[in-house]
Amino acid sequence: MPDEREIGRRVKDSIIGTIRGTGEITEAAVGTLSSAVQRTFKEVGAAGGSAADLAVGAVRGTIGAVGDVIGLSALTAASTVGTTAQAASAAAASVGNAAKAAVVGAVRGSSEAGIETLEAIGATSRSAVSEASAVGADITAAAVGAVEGAIEIAKDSAISAEDAASAAATGAIDAASEIGEAAAKRVQAAVGGTIQGVKVTAKSVVS
């Protein structure tokens, strides 16, 4: 029976070529990657296994692929302060877009498998931040990307954008809290306020 490690590997294999080809993940690539995640989720899910676990694995595979191809290599390849800043910005954007794509694809796949949408959003957003930390990527970018993905999901579901954003922000902050208080505060600040015109109110608050 497949588990989250199996789908993580399958997702990673399915998208890593695309990431290598472009060198970064742009907003334009989000749809392509999210479709790949959703397709792989269906393929692996058809063989059995917990949909919730598979969704988490799908997110880990996506973020892991970004970490392998872009991650810190973008920084180590830069030779000056200026190019280092540019590389860091590009890497953060790629992590954010990867998180968005991963959450959209995994949540749509898990929702089709019968998992409640808000539950899936919270779990996948939490995983996006945890995995970003594991590969040394920008956790705040991953958190914002997860919230953006949740808002995208709300457009074609019965839930409101505000509820979707809240679930994603809560999951992201919870994951950051496990990393440390400073990380939690950074993520809370990053997902607070308004994102894509939607007021984000997380249920988890770091004092």
pLDDT at 74: 46
Residue 23 burial (CB count, 10 A) = 13
Domain boundaries, the chain: 4-200
Count, in order, helices (H) and strands (E) of the chain.
9, 2
pLDDT confidence bin for 18, thresholds 50/70/90? confident
Q: What is the mean pLDDT of residues 25-30?
A: 76
Which residue type is seen at 170? T
pLDDT at 113: 65
Instruction: Please name the residues in contact with 171: beta carbons below 8 A apart, sequence gap of 6 or more.
Output: 121, 122, 123, 124, 125, 126, 129, 146
Q: Crossing angle of helices 51-69/4-22, nearest 10°?
A: 30
pLDDT at 3: 65
Q: Kindly compute the dihedral angle of the four CA atoms of residues 179, 105, 60, 84, in this order, to the nearest 10 degrees.
A: -70
**In this predicted model, what pLDDT tens digit does every residue of 97-150 receive, in sequence order?**
888 988 898 888 877 766 788 988 999 999 999 988 988 888 999 999 999 999
What average pLDDT does range 167-171 have in this prediction?
96
Q: What is the pLDDT of residue 80?
A: 45
Residue 61: the pLDDT is 81
Q: Check: CB of residue 186 under 8 Å from CB of residue 139.
A: yes
Rounded to whole angstroms, the Cα distance separating 186 from 16 reads 29
